[in-house]
Amino acid sequence: MLVVDGAVRAAARCWGPVGELAVKNRWAGLVIDGCVRDSAALGKLPLGIKALAAHPRKSVKRDSGQRDLPLRVAGCDILPGQWLYADEDGVIVSGRPLG
C-alpha cells in the first residue's frame, strides 16, 4: 500500500507508470491525497486506487519522497504499520487487521 500526501495541489501525484509499478511490486493499492492523471489507464489495472480527483497537469519531479512517516489525510492520522481498507465509498484506517 502506498499513501501519498499530494498536499492537495492541482497537479497529478500519481500517473500510469506509478500504477504499473504498484502492480509489478504487488502493492494492494494507492491512496493519494491529491490528484491522479492517466485515470483511464489506471482504471484498467488490477489495483485499488483512491484519490481526490483526476487532473491532466503533470507534477514536478523532485525526488524528495520519504517513507514510513505519519501522515494526516482528510483529518485522519495514518501511521506506519496501520491497515487501510477501501471500497467504492471510501477508506478506513485500523491499528490491526479486521475480520
At 24, is the secondary structure helix, strand, or coil? helix
Q: 75 a known binding residue?
A: no
Exposure b/e, 59-77, CB count within 10 A at least 16 = b: beeeeeeeeeeeeebeeee
* Selection from 12, 28, 33 nearest residue 76 by Cα: 33
Q: Is 81 annotated as a binding residue?
A: no
18 is in an annotated binding site: yes
> Beta strand pairing status for 90-94 and 83-87?
antiparallel
Residue ranges for the binding site for substrate? 16-18, 37
User: Which residues line the annotated binding site?
Assistant: 16-18, 37-38
- Binding-site residue ranges for Mg(2+): 38
